[in-house]
Amino acid sequence: MKTTEATVLDESKIHEPTAVAVVEPAIESRPRPTTGVKEAKIYIDGKFYSEANAKVSVLDHGLLYGDGIFEGIRFYNGRVFRLEEHLNRLWDSARSICLEIPMTMRDMTEAVLDTIRQNRLRDGYIRLLVTRGVGNLGLNPAECKYPSVIIIAATIALYHESFYRKGLTIVTCATRRSNPAALNPAVKSLNYLNNVMARIEANLAGADEALMLNDAGNVAECTADNVFIIKRGQIFTPPITAGALRGITRGIVFEIAGELGIKISEIDITRHDVFVADECFLTGTVAEIVPVVKADGRLIGNGKPGPITTRTIARFREMTRETGTPIFAES
C-alpha cells in the first residue's frame, strides 16, 4: 500500500507534547456550568465546601462504576416539596443495592434543610447523592467502607414557560429502557447511561424528549419523566413493572385525579396508544407536569395542551406553592 504524506511518522516529534496539550487551560480555569448560586456551599459528609473545593476521590465507586443512588428534590417558596417521599425512595434505592446510608433519615432531613439555608435560597433544586465511597479499582463494593453523602443546592428552570403553554415534542428512541431483571429502573442509581443514550437520540432527532420502550415494546417512561396519556376522559400510565421509576410527581397525579374525580389506571401503553391519545403529559420533579403535543411526528389530540392536562398542572402548582417542609423557622 502506498504511504501518504500524512501517515509518515516524524520520529523527532514522538516524545514532544502536542501544542494542544500545552495551551489547554487546566480544568479548574475552564468556564463551566455552575449551580447558579452565588458563593454556593456544597455539603459533603457533614461539611460545607465552596463549589471550587467540593471534590470527591477519583477512587469513589460512584465515579468509577456509577455505584450509588440519588434524588432530585424541588423546594418552592421556602418549603421542600415532598421531602419525606424523596427520602423514603432514597432509602428504598439504598436497600435494593445493599448500600448503607451513613446517617439517619432525620439527620438527612436536617442536612438537606441546612444546605438550602447555607445557600440562602427559597426556590430551587436539591441534588442529593449517596456514593458507594472510596474503594480500589475492582468493582467489589465490599471494598468500599464509607459511603459519601453529597448535597448540592441549585437554582433551576428546565423548560421555559412557553413549553407548558405549547407543549413538547417527543420521539421514540431505539434505546430500550433497562430490563428490570438487569438493572431495575425503580432504583434511582447514579448509573444513568441508559437514559443518557436515549437523551442523545432525542437531541439528534431535534425533539424535546425521548420516549423509551421496554423489551416488550411497551412504553416505559421518558429519560427523566413518567408518561401519562388521556383517552375519553380517563388518565392512563404504565405500571412500574413496565420499567418506570415510581415518580413522586407521578404519585401526585394519582392524588389530583382522585380529587378531580377523574379515573386513572396503570396499564400497558403502546406507541399506538400515544398516537391516538386525546392528551399526553410527562411528570418529573424538574419538569413538573408538562404537556406533550407531538409524538413521532403525529399531533396528539388537536396539537395543543388539553383540558385535563391544564387542570392537573394548575392543581399541581397550587400544591407546590402551599405545601412542604418549612426550610426557615418563619415559614
Q: Catalytic amino acids?
A: 188
**Where are the strands (E) in 32-143, listed by range?**
41-44, 47-50, 68-76, 79-80, 124-131
Stretch near ligand PLP under the rule CB under 6 A, chosen from 60-68, 105-113, 217-225, 272-280: 217-225
Supply 64's cell numbers: 468509577
Among 210, 250, 253, 292, binds ligand PLP (CB under 6 A): 250
Question: Which residue in this structure is represented by grid cell 413522586?
Answer: 248
What 3-state DSSP class applies to 326?
strand
Nearer to ligand PLP, 35 or 285 (CB): 285
Q: Does 288 bind ligand PLP (CB under 6 A)?
A: no
Q: Does 239 bind ligand PLP (CB under 6 A)?
A: no
Smallest separation (angstroms) from ligand PLP to the CB of 9:
48
Smallest separation (angstroms) from ligand PLP to the CB of 249:
3
**Where are the strands (E) in 110-231, listed by range?**
124-131, 148-154, 168-172, 209-213, 219-222, 226-231
Q: Does 284 bind ligand PLP (CB under 6 A)?
A: yes
Q: Does 214 bind ligand PLP (CB under 6 A)?
A: no
Phi, psi of 318, rounded to the nearest 5 degrees: -60, -45
Number of shown-chain residues binding ligand PLP (CB under 6 A):
14
Supply 18's cell numbers: 502536542
H/E stretch holding 288: strand 288-295
Residue 53 CB: number of other CB atoms within 10 A? 9
Site string for ligand PLP, 70-89 (x = CB under 6 A): --x-----------------
Q: Does 285 bind ligand PLP (CB under 6 A)?
A: yes
Contact residues toward ligand PLP (CB under 6 A) are 72, 195, 221, 224-226, 245, 247-250, 283-285
